[in-house]
Structure 1
Amino acid sequence: MTWQQYLSSEELRGIQEIRQTLANSIPADLDTDFNLARWWRAYHGDVKKIAEVIPMYDASRRAAGFVGDNFIERYFELPSIKPYLPFIASSRLYDKAWSENRSAFLFVEKAWSQPKEFIKVLKTSDYLLHCFGYSEYLMQLILRKEKQIKRPVRVITIFDLGEMSVSDYLNPLSPYFKLWKLRSDIWQDWYPDMVQKIIIVNPPRLVGTLWGLVKLFLNEHNRSLLMIVSSHREIEKYIDSHLIPVAYGGKFKENDPITDDSCCSKRKKITPADYYQNNEHYMKKLGERPPTKHHDFAPATKLAVGVNVSEGQSLLWDFYVNSEVEFSIRLVRKDESDLLIFPKLKLVTSKLREEGIIEKPLPGEYIFDFTNTSNYFHAKMDYCFVAA
């Protein structure tokens, strides 16, 4: 088959419309027919929405450092990723687990085993940057493979719930549930139609409860990708037998000492010594935390706070908010559009305040942008943004 034969005439028209609307501003790596067709399908042909989302997605991945020809090879060494890998059990199979029959890569992940401790180790932004980065990693594998084989490629995910307690997620307002929702938003908004199947293994006994929770944050299409299995033979319906990891009744094994029989990295048990310590960036630069400011958000309102950074200074911040907000940081530029320097992410704070530091950025005015994502509820935020 030629590459055009994998796409319908409607999809081809949609691809052309996306290109015309974005006026040649689509990044080269994303500007492929197969990739734009994914966006067209997932957004149901809403080109106006696609034209809003793609530029912000691209600006955010650049702000996070998730770009470059060697991004795949250096991903696990990135300073925003490497420190947290010991606490997350997921596969690092690169392109070795490839199904020619299904035109898909394999990805394996285990649910958190210590959710109450997990949120004391990673700030929400730390975890979401990991999820964002891994999604980009998989997308770049897909784009690279599609260029080679001239046909659409997706990812098949095995998601192991063996160490998960459903009781931790029964409350939709719990910090663990909110993190899963925010993570799913990134995947559904910025990586549409990337997944072929999500195979749930070792499901909890309360499967009905689990299904009800999933419906709260996955759209209809992505819910249809979920397949709950209980045996090796059921897994074979969705993935080639030679790719099923040993832990799930197959023979596939990664010859790497950091992985187990599930092909996931071995997870470190969290202890109090691993807990994240807030305010250390202030102690390093200022010796103390500056005074707190406060802001009350009305529903669906925004806040923009500017900080001027001089030559040699660093940009420091922290905030605590009682509801979900969308957050980003940008550098004001006079002769061109502002430059995003911290990706636009939806965030919540629970055990840990959100905080960060950018060491010696370009001098200029930096804007901290917030949006209350709720159309119904107010939000309260304490914050501190300084240059030092």
Structure 2
Amino acid sequence: MPAKFQSPSPASIHECALIEQLRNKLTDELPDGIPNDLNTDLNLLRWIRGFDANFDKITKNFYTYVESRRAAGFDVSDLPEKFFDLPHIKRFLPYIAASRLNDRLWLDERNAFLFVERAWCQPKELILRREKKQNATKGLVQFIVFFDAATLNLIDYLNPMSAQIKFWQVRSELWQNWYPEMVQKIYLVNPPRFISTLWKVVGIFLKKENLELIEIIGNQKDLQNDLPAWFIPREFAGEFVNDVQPYDETGVSIRRKIVPDDYIKSHDLCQSKGIDQPKPRQKKEELQEISAGAVFVESIILPDDHTKLFWNFTCSTDVEFTIYNKKKRFLYPRLHLFTLKVPEEGILENLTPNSEYFFEFRVNTGYFNARLDYSIYSAL
């Protein structure tokens, strides 16, 4: 059974000392120090608690998060307002039922706001804003999740190698590695009939303490045992009705059905940029063997007049991928990717000619070698 809810306690005297130690370590080891919005006692406290004060793990994950956030352009102060208008996000929004409640539905006694989960939206920046405004003695701001499983097709989750399982594995890793101690409680509503099967799958990806945050709700009225009716959307037997258009009454964007014409196809990116299906310029396309747990790095120097880099790859296993420059500053976030259906492809623009760039492929599995089929090419 899930653990009974307890509000996060303020930092203890010992934790206050750890916060300063961690602040000094991160300031020394991060290229630009700690970004201002992340350099708060409460934010550092959640990393300390989320990683059991293991400073080496914290530093590794914090560095990767900060560099990836910057490379993705997510380090701007108005990200919550602009997120859904970003060009590389907006094109996918018609197909995603994304929560648009932001932090409007706030429960003061829990120091948390509501997030309705039918797809993904990261409210970290909203948490940081709230923490700056509140009394320092209140403790961590968190969010409460209503995970609506009504549209889950259980068949998709029975195959451990399916795209759906891979996707949930990636999401779970991101949550646990980059966003520790942000979720207060997850209420799984409209559970599928064979919830025990799904529960076994979830247990593979989540740490025990995070698994205990999840409570399965068979009767929606039971939500009112923990939460006031005004905080619960009417869809889940509560009273809240969203009136902000064009979202549904629960505050979630209305998703368009995906049809075959919407599927991503290989080399779509090149076609959108008016470039013919590529032939490698710097290196012939080849199959690269990467040992289990090993890293493969390919470098490319842009020609005199080139400012764009394209890449395209498939890999026989999951792979952690990033791009960086000579100073090891990320130009592309470090992401856990899989290529079950179509190749992974992307573009970097406005680069400096005659500069060297590095493409890193890291195989995290300790059991199987990976076979990587890739091409990297440049353009004007």
TM-score normalised by length of structure 1: 0.88
Deviation at 1:280, TM superposition (A): 3.1
1:205 is matched with: 193
Q: Aligned AA for 1:84?
A: F
Matched, 1:22 2:26: yes
1:365 is matched with: 356
2:340 is matched with: 350
2:184 is matched with: 196
Q: Aligned AA for 1:331?
A: N
2:312 is matched with: 318
Matched, 1:297 2:290: yes
**Between Structure 1 and Structure 2, how many residues are aligned?**
358
Deviation at 1:329, TM superposition (A): 0.5
Deviation at 1:286, TM superposition (A): 4.2
- Secondary structure class of the residue paired with 1:236: helix
Deviation at 1:384, TM superposition (A): 0.6
1:88 is matched with: 96
Distance 1:162 1:288 in 2: 41
Q: Aligned AA for 1:207?
A: I
Q: Aligned AA for 1:80?
A: H
Match for residue 252 of structure 2 among 247, 264, 282: 264
Equivalent residues in 2 for 1:219-234, closer than 5 Å = 219-234=207-222
Identity, % of aligned pairs?
38
1:376 is matched with: 367
Deviation at 1:164, TM superposition (A): 0.7
Distance 1:360 1:41 in 2: 40
Deviation at 1:234, TM superposition (A): 1.4
1:155 is matched with: 143
Q: Aligned AA for 1:33?
A: D
Matched, 1:7 2:1: no
1:203-243 per-residue CA deviation (whole Å, 9 max, x = no partner) reads: 00111111111100011111010011122331123333212
Q: Aligned AA for 2:11?
A: L
- Secondary structure class of the residue paired with 2:99: coil
- Secondary structure class of the residue paired with 1:187: helix
Q: Aligned AA for 2:371?
A: K
- Secondary structure class of the residue paired with 1:256: coil
1:259-309 per-residue CA deviation (whole Å, 9 max, x = no partner) reads: 223321111001122111221333445422215321011111111111222
Matched, 1:235 2:220: no
Contact residue 197 and residue 238 of structure 1 kept, 8 A: no
2:202 is matched with: 214
Contact residue 189 and residue 220 of structure 2 kept, 8 A: no
1:291-333 per-residue CA deviation (whole Å, 9 max, x = no partner) reads: 532101111111111122244431100100110111000122x
Q: Aligned AA for 2:334?
A: K
Moved more, 82-91 or 318-327: 82-91
1:121 is matched with: none
Contact residue 308 and residue 387 of structure 1 kept, 8 A: no
Deviation at 1:356, TM superposition (A): 0.7
2:46 is matched with: 38
Q: Residues 260 and 216 of structure 1: is their aligned pair in 2 closer, same or farther, counting only changes over 3 Å?
A: same
Distance 2:194 2:129 in 1: 40
Q: Aligned AA for 1:287?
A: D
1:83-130 per-residue CA deviation (whole Å, 9 max, x = no partner) reads: 11111112111221111121101110226xxxxxxxxxxxxxxxxxxx
Contact residue 99 and residue 253 of structure 2 kept, 8 A: yes
Moved more, 88-97 or 219-228: 88-97
- Secondary structure class of the residue paired with 2:126: helix
Q: Residues 171 and 280 of structure 1: is their aligned pair in 2 closer, same or farther, counting only changes over 3 Å?
A: closer
1:387 is matched with: 378
Matched, 1:340 2:333: no
TM-score normalised by length of structure 2: 0.90
2:3 is matched with: none
- Secondary structure class of the residue paired with 1:197: strand
Root mean square deviation, CA, Å: 1.7
Deviation at 1:176, TM superposition (A): 0.9
Distance 1:27 1:257 in 2: 34
Distance 1:60 1:240 in 2: 38
